[in-house]
A and B are shown apart, each in its own frame.
Chain A
Amino acid sequence: MDSGEWDVLIAHFLGVDHCGHKHGPHHPEMAKKLSQMDQVIQGLIERLENDTLLVVAGDHGMTMNGDHGGDSELEVSAALFLYSPTALFPTAPPEEPEVIPQVSLVPTLALLLGLPIPFGNIGEVMTELFSGGHGSHPQASALAQVSALHINAQQVSRFLHAYSAATQDLQVKELHQLQKLFSKASASYQQLLQNPQEAGASLRTLTAELQQFLRGARAICLESWARFSLVRMAGGAALLAAACFLCLLASQLAVSPGFPFRPLLLTPVAWGLTWAMLYAGLSVTTGSKVDSVVLGAVAAAGSLPPFLWKVWANWGSTRPLVPLLPAPLPVLLLLLTRLATFFSDSFVVAEARATPFLLCSLILFLVAHLHWEDQLLQPKLLTVPRLGSSAPTGPPRHSGTYALRLGIGLLLCTRLSGLFHRCPEETPACHSSPWLSPLASMVGGQAKNLWYGACVGALVALLVVVRLWLRRYGNLKSPEPPVLFVRWGLPLMVLGTAAYWALASGADEAPPRLRALVAGASVMLPRAVMGLAASGLMLLLWRPVTVLVKAGAGASRTRTILTPFSGPPTSQADLDYVVPQIYRHMQEEFQGRLERTRTQGPVTVAAYQLGSVYSAAMVTALILLAFPLLLLHVERVSLVFLLLFLQSFLLLHLLAAGTSVTTTGPFVVLWQAVSAWALLANQTFYSTGHQPVFSAIHWHAAFVGFPDGHDSSTWLPALLVGANTFASHILFAVGCPLLLLWPFLCESQGPRKRQQLPGCEAEARARPEEEREEPLMEMRLRDAPHHFNAALLQLGLKYLFVLGVQILACALAASILRRHLMVWKVFAPKFIFEAIGFIVSSVGLLLGIALVMRVDGAVSSWFRRLVLAQQR
C-alpha cells in the first residue's frame, strides 16, 4: 500500500466469517475478532492519502447461529462504510442512513475510478459520492450528481434494450413506460446542459426521474429473474408423482390376465390430445398466449385420469387388493435412503462415493437374503417343486459359496471402477483419478506404452468375453449375418479403435512427413468404427435370429428329425423317441397349424440355440453400442467398460440365482433386480469420469472423428457429447430386458452339454426326457406370449418408476431448497442431468424392448418358414 503503485487494492478478511460460523455473532470470540478488525481499519485510515476512498463492505450478514446463505433479513443485510480523508458529503450524513443495494457498488466504484460501467449492471450510483465534497458549490455538485446518474441510466437503458431483445421475459408494458421515462429525462438533461442557468427545481426533478428510472429497471429485472413460479413447481411435482404412481400401478396390474394393453396406448393419447386442444382453443379465444410448457402439462395431466378411472372402476370388482410395493423392506429402505440423499448438498456432491456404497449394500443384502431363504428349503428340496425334469438331474442351482463368490466379485469390480473417479468442484480433500486424463497428456514412454497395452488389452478382453459368452450358448455357430459380424466385424472395430488411440496418444511423436496421414487417419478411423457399429446394428435388426440351421430351411427340416438317428436304433430309448416324433410330424402335417409350431423346438438341433436367442441379440446389440461409446471416452475408461460388462454379468447371475423360474408365467422381475440395475447405471455414470455439473462435461467428445471442429451444425457435437455423458444410461437402459431373460438363461446347464456332443449315444438317451419337457430356457417365454408381453411391460414400468422417483426427488429438492446457497451449484444441475438422463434412459429402454419384440417377431416368422418348408 505504501508503494503507491496501485489504483485499486482489494483485501478480503475471512476471519469474521469463519468466527461467525464457528461461534455465532454473540460470542466473546466474535467480540475479540471484531475489535481486531477495528484496529486493522484504524491502522488503514491513518495511512490513507487524501485522494483515496476506503470502502468497507460485508458480503453478507449472518443468522443468530452465524450461518448464512438464506434470504432472511439478518442474512442479507451487511454493513457498508465509506471513508475518505477529504470530506465526501456536502452535508453531515444522516443518523439513519438509507439501505443501499449491493449491486450499487459496481457503478459507483466504476465511475469513481473513471471506468465505463459494466454492461450488465443494474445498480444505481450513490449520488452523494459525486457531489464534489464539502466545499463545492451546491448547484455544481447537483449537476455532477445528475451527470453521474445520467451516465448510469444510459448504460442501464442500453442493457435493458439488449436484454429484452434477446429474451423477452421482461414485462412489456412496464418496459415501455421505463423507456418513455428515460427518453423524457434524457431530453430534459440535454436541455439542462444547453442552459445551465435555470437549474434549481428542474435539477431536482431530473434527479428524481433518473432515480425512478433506475429503480424501476432494477425492480422489473428482479421480478423477472428471482422469480419462482410456485404453482408451476407444485404442478410439475404433482404431475411427476402421478406419473410415477401410474407406473407403479400399471406394473402391478400388468401381470393380471385381463389387462388391457391396447387401450393403454390409444385412449390416453386421445384424451391428452383432446385436453391439449381444449386448452389451446380456450387460450386462443381468451386472447392469451399459448404456453408450450402448460400445454404439455395439460396434455399429460389429461391423459392420466381415464386410466386411473378405469383402474379405480375395476379395482374392487375383479381384483383382490394387491399390495402396491411387494419389495422386501430393506430394499425399500435402501431406495428411500437414496431418495433422501438428494435433499442434502453434501450427499449430492459425494454421490460418486455414496452410490457404490449403496450398491455394495444391496449386493450383500442379496447374498444374505439368498442364504436366509435357502435354508427354508434345503438346496436339494428347492428344485423339487419346480416342474420339469431339468433340475433334479443337475447339481443344486446355487450353493452358498456360489452366491458369496458372485457377491465378492461384484464388490471387487465396484471398488475397482471406483478408482476412476473425478472430483466435483471445490472439494479440496478429494483427488481426481489421474487415469481420467487422455494418454496423450502423459509424459514418459514406458508408462504410456504400458497403459496403452492395458487399454488395448481391455478392448480385446471385452471382445473375447462376448465371443466366449456367445460360444457358451452356441449362438456363435450360426451362419446368420449378425454372428458373422460378431466374428469378423468386432475384431475390425477393436483394431480400428486401437489404431485410433495409438494415433491420438502419440500424435506429437509422429515424423513430420506422416503428419498428413496421421491427421487423415484420426478423422477416418473413428468414423469407420462408428459406421461398422451402425451397420452391425442394422444387420442385427434385419436378421436378429441367431440360430444354426445347417442346410437350407427345407433340408434342415428333414435332417433335424433324422440326423440323431442316422445309425440303426440300438436301444429301446431310441425307439421310444423316434416313434412319437414321427407321429407328431405326421400330425402336424395333417393339421397344418402354422402358429402352434413351437412344439418342434426340441426336435431340432437348433432349438438349443433358440434357448438364448433373445439374449444373444441383446448382448450383440450392447457390445455394438458399447464400442462407439467407448471411442468417445478417453482411452483408459475402456477398463471401466470392461468392468461394467463384468459387473452386469455377475449381477445378472446373482439376481438369477434369487429368481425362481416358473414354467407357465406370470413372469416377474423383482424390485431388487431393477433397483440394483438402476444403481449400477448410476455408479457407472460416475466411474466413467462424469459428474452432474456442467463444468465436468467431456467436451472433447465432440471432436472424436472431427478434429477440426464442426462448421455450423450443432446437433452432431451435441449428440456426441450427449452420448459420452449418458453412455451408462444408454447401455443399462437398452440392456434392461436382460433382467427378465437371464434367469431363463441360467436355468439349465444340461442342454449345453448335450449340444456339444450331437448325435452321440448320451444325447439320444437324454432326449426322451427333454421331449416331455418341451421348450427350454427362453423358449418358455414364447410359450406364454401374454405373460411375456406383460413381463416386458412390467419390467419397463418398474425401471421407469425407479428412475422417475429419482427425478421426482431431484425436482422436489431443487424446488424446496430453491433459496439454498447451493441451489445453482448442486441441486439444479443435478436435476437437469437427472432429467436428461431420464429421457435418454426411457428412449434406450424403448429401444431395448423394441429389439426384444423384433427378435420375437423374427423367431415367429422363422418357425413359420420352417413349417412351410416342411409342408412342401
Chain B
Amino acid sequence: MKDTDIKRLLYSNLLCVFSVFLSVFIPSLFLDNFSILETHLTWLCTCSTSVTGVNLLLHLVVKPNVSSRRSSLSHKVSRVLKCCIYFLLSCFFLHIIFVLYGAPLIELVLETFLFAVILSTFTTVPCLCLLGPNLKAWLRVFSRNGVTSIWENSLQITTISSFIGAWLGAFPIPLDWERPWQVWPISCTLGATFGYVAGLVSSPLWIYWNRKQLTYKSN
C-alpha cells in the first residue's frame, strides 16, 4: 500500500462529498423555492442521481478493481442489467426493513421508498461499482479480516457509517421540539447523508493513521 493510493482514495472520496454538496446547490439554480426541507423529495432524487453519477464516473475513470477478463459486449450488458436489478432489490429490501422497524405501511410510502433509494445509493451503489454484482464478495468485505484493499476498507467504513447515521437519525423523531426536520423520514435521510459524508471523509484518514497495522491479504 502506497501513500499515492491513499491520496487517490482521498480525492475520489472528496469528489463524492462534493457531489452531495452539489445536489444541495445545483437544483436551486433551476427550481424556484428549492430547499432541502420543503422540497425534500426533489432533493432526495437529485442527491441520489448525483452521487450515483459521481460513483459511476469514478468507477470508469479510476477503476480501482481489476476488470474482469471477459469483456464482450453481451457480458457487459448483462452485468449492467444485473447491477440495476441488484440496486432495485436492495431498495425494496431496505424498504421492507424500514417498515419492519416501524415505518408506516401505507401512509408516506413514497417518502419511505425514497429514503430506501437514497440509503441504497450510499451503500449499494459503491458496492456495485467496486465489487460488481457478486454477493459473495460483498459478504466477504463485510466481515472481519475480509477486506483486501484500501478501497474495500473505505467502502466498509462508509457503508457502516451511512447505516449508523440513518439509525441515529430516527432518534429526534419522538422529541417535542416541533422542528420541521423531525418528521419521518427527513431526519433519517439527513442522518444517512451525514453518516455517508463522515464516512467518506474519515475513511482515508483512518486508513492513513492505521497504515502500519493494515495488511491486506492479496495486495
Pick from B99, B145, B146: contact of A415, CB below 8 A.
Answer: B99
Pick from A357, A371, A414: contact of B143, CB below 8 A.
Answer: A371
**A502-B101 Cα distance, complex, nearest whole Å:** 35
List B residues 84-142 near A (Cβ within 8 Å): 97, 99-102, 139-140, 142
Q: Could you tell me if B144 and A360 are in contact, using CB atoms closer than 8 angstroms?
A: no
Is A372 located at the chain interface by the 8 A CB criterion?
Answer: yes
- Enumerate chain A residues within 8 angstroms of B170, measured Cβ to Cβ: 357
- Enumerate chain A residues within 8 angstroms of B167, measured Cβ to Cβ: 361
Is A418 located at the chain interface by the 8 A CB criterion?
Answer: yes
Is A871 located at the chain interface by the 8 A CB criterion?
Answer: no
Pick from B101, B143, B145: contact of A360, CB below 8 A.
Answer: B101
- Enumerate chain A residues within 8 angstroms of B144, measured Cβ to Cβ: 372-373, 375-376
Is A356 located at the chain interface by the 8 A CB criterion?
Answer: yes
Interface size class of B (residues with CB under 8 A): 10 to 19
**A361-B97 Cα distance, complex, nearest whole Å:** 11
Q: Could you tell me if A375 and B143 are in contact, using CB atoms closer than 8 angstroms?
A: yes
Q: Could you tell me if B142 and A372 are in contact, using CB atoms closer than 8 angstroms?
A: yes
Asked, given contacts A344-B175, A346-B174, whether A418 binds B140 with beta carbons under 8 Å apart, the answer is no
Is B3 located at the chain interface by the 8 A CB criterion?
Answer: no
Q: Mark A355-399, 1 if CB is under 8 A from B, else 0.
A: 011001100100010011111100000000000000000000000
Asked, given contacts A371-B142, A375-B144, whether A414 binds B174 with beta carbons under 8 Å apart, the answer is no
Q: Could you tell me if B143 and A372 are in contact, using CB atoms closer than 8 angstroms?
A: yes
List A residues 310-353 near B (Cβ within 8 Å): 344, 346-347, 349-350, 353
- Enumerate chain A residues within 8 angstroms of B139, measured Cβ to Cβ: 371, 375, 400
**A353-B101 Cα distance, complex, nearest whole Å:** 10
Is A412 located at the chain interface by the 8 A CB criterion?
Answer: yes
**A376-B145 Cα distance, complex, nearest whole Å:** 7
Is B32 located at the chain interface by the 8 A CB criterion?
Answer: no
- Enumerate chain B residues within 8 angstroms of A375, measured Cβ to Cβ: 139-140, 143-146
- Enumerate chain A residues within 8 angstroms of B174, measured Cβ to Cβ: 346-347, 349-350, 353-354
- Cβ of A693 to closest chain B Cβ, rounded Å: 16
**A400-B135 Cα distance, complex, nearest whole Å:** 12
- Enumerate chain A residues within 8 angstroms of B140, measured Cβ to Cβ: 375
- Enumerate chain A residues within 8 angstroms of B100, measured Cβ to Cβ: 360, 408, 411-412, 414-415
- Enumerate chain A residues within 8 angstroms of B175, measured Cβ to Cβ: 344, 346-347
**A408-B146 Cα distance, complex, nearest whole Å:** 24
- Cβ of B78 to closest chain A Cβ, rounded Å: 25
Q: Is the interface of A mostly helix, strand, loop or mixed?
A: helix
Q: Could you tell me if A376 and B143 are in contact, using CB atoms closer than 8 angstroms?
A: yes
List B residues 150-180 near A (Cβ within 8 Å): 167, 170, 174-176
Q: Could you tell me if A353 and B143 are in contact, using CB atoms closer than 8 angstroms?
A: no
- Cβ of A309 to closest chain B Cβ, rounded Å: 42
**A373-B142 Cα distance, complex, nearest whole Å:** 10
- Enumerate chain A residues within 8 angstroms of B99, measured Cβ to Cβ: 415
Q: Could you tell me if A411 and B143 are in contact, using CB atoms closer than 8 angstroms?
A: no
- Enumerate chain B residues within 8 angstroms of A364, measured Cβ to Cβ: 97
**A411-B146 Cα distance, complex, nearest whole Å:** 27
Asked, given contacts A347-B174, A371-B139, whether A357 binds B145 with beta carbons under 8 Å apart, the answer is no
- Cβ of B14 to closest chain A Cβ, rounded Å: 29
Closest to A345 in B: B176
- Cβ of A113 to closest chain B Cβ, rounded Å: 38
Closest to B175 in A: A346
**A368-B99 Cα distance, complex, nearest whole Å:** 19
Q: Mark B36-51, 1 if CB is under 8 A from A, else 0.
A: 0000000000000000
- Cβ of B186 to closest chain A Cβ, rounded Å: 16
**A374-B175 Cα distance, complex, nearest whole Å:** 38
- Cβ of A174 to closest chain B Cβ, rounded Å: 42
**A361-B142 Cα distance, complex, nearest whole Å:** 18
- Cβ of B33 to closest chain A Cβ, rounded Å: 23
- Enumerate chain B residues within 8 angstroms of A354, measured Cβ to Cβ: 174
Q: Could you tell me if A415 and B143 are in contact, using CB atoms closer than 8 angstroms?
A: no
Most A CB contacts (10 A, CB to CB) among B99, B100, B102, B175 go to B100
- Cβ of B39 to closest chain A Cβ, rounded Å: 24
Q: Could you tell me if A374 and B143 are in contact, using CB atoms closer than 8 angstroms?
A: yes
**Extra contacts besides A357-B101, A375-B145 (14): CB < 8 Å:** A346-B174, A347-B174, A357-B102, A371-B139, A371-B143, A372-B142, A373-B143, A375-B139, A375-B140, A375-B143, A375-B144, A376-B145, A411-B101, A412-B100
Complex A-B: 30 CB contacts under 8 Å? A344-B175, A346-B174, A346-B175, A346-B176, A347-B175, A350-B174, A353-B102, A356-B101, A356-B102, A357-B102, A360-B100, A361-B167, A371-B142, A372-B142, A372-B143, A373-B143, A373-B144, A374-B143, A375-B143, A375-B144, A375-B145, A376-B145, A400-B139, A408-B100, A411-B97, A411-B100, A411-B101, A412-B100, A415-B102, A418-B102
Pairs A-B, 6 closest by C-beta atoms: A375-B143, A350-B174, A411-B100, A346-B175, A415-B100, A346-B176
Chain A residues within 8 Å of B, Cβ to Cβ:
344, 346-347, 349-350, 353-354, 356-357, 360-361, 364, 368, 371-376, 400, 408, 411-412, 414-415, 418
